Amino acid sequence: ISTYLKLGTTSLVLSMIEDAFINVDLAVDQPVRTLHQVSHDPDLRQLITLRSGRTLTAVQLQMEYFELARKYVDERYGADADEQTKDILTRWEDTLNRLETDPMSLAGELDWIAKRELMEGYRRRDALDWDAPRLHLVDLQYADVRPDKGLYNRLAARGKMKRLLDEDEVTRARTKPPEDTRAYFRGRCLEQYADDVAAASWDSVIFDLPDRDSLQRVPTMEPLRGTKEHVKDLLDRCRTAEELVRALSGG
């Protein structure tokens, strides 16, 4: 849920910036220093100074962005707002309210709080200081991606972490990209033309074709282009990467 919230809230804020919707100065004075201070304040009391001179906590600052985002969605989309956007707004507000009143209630949803609860448990049980090497190991082991090693994975297996997807959905996503984004095009290219793909990233697929002197880059800058609806027929028709590049270049 942590990653889902991060991506969703960031997407909303970026949309507001692109649409010039934010009409209040929320810029942070000395942002690098402030980020360091906030990241070392698990009690959420560190005050942030804005360039305007206002002071508020990190949670209060996020609440300002949330209120703007809610207004933005209401004005731009109203009842037509998609379910995912509405879900992000609901979870964002709930998370901020609980961070204000009872942060530890989010131990099953936010990574940093789950990790803090784990470390507090080890610290109390073994009478450890916060700088104990064992706690540093816990910090690292939490994010270990190996199912049998990572502490997050152990918590999830015990039902102590709320998940948006079950393990079968995660396993399926490794080989089956979503059909309604550009990931469909990228995934089909990797599956269909694997020997000719030199590189693939968020914004392009690059082909190394035998009869071409240079690498052929196919941009994928638009997230909603390259969907199954948009390119399936093209990919079905092009048996080779050369045919695909020729079709896309009009030649």
Same domain as 61, residue 19: yes
1 HSE (CA, 13 A, CB side) = 22
Predicted TM-score (pTM) of this structure: 0.76
| Number of domains comprising the chain | 3
Same domain as 125, residue 44: no
Q: Do the Cβ atoms of 117 and 104 come closer than 8 Å?
A: yes
Same domain as 95, residue 76: yes
- Of 19-23, 143-147, 178-182, which gets the smallest average pLDDT? 143-147
Over residues 202-231, the pLDDT tens digits come to 899 999 999 899 999 999 998 888 999 999
Over residues 66-89, the pLDDT tens digits come to 999 999 999 999 989 999 999 999
> Is residue 91 packed enough to be buried (19+ CB in 10 Å), middle (13-18) or exposed (0-12)?
middle
Confidence of residue 16 (pLDDT cuts 50, 70, 90): very high
Rounded to 10 deg, the angle between the 83-101 and 2-18 helix axes is 110
For residue 47 the two structure tokens come to 């005050």
Same domain as 97, residue 6: yes
CA distance 181 to 195: 23
Phi, psi for 55 (deg, rounded to 5): -125, 140
Same domain as 240, residue 147: no
Measured in whole angstroms, how far is the alpha carbon of residue 56 from the centre of its chain?
26
Domain range for 114 is 103-164
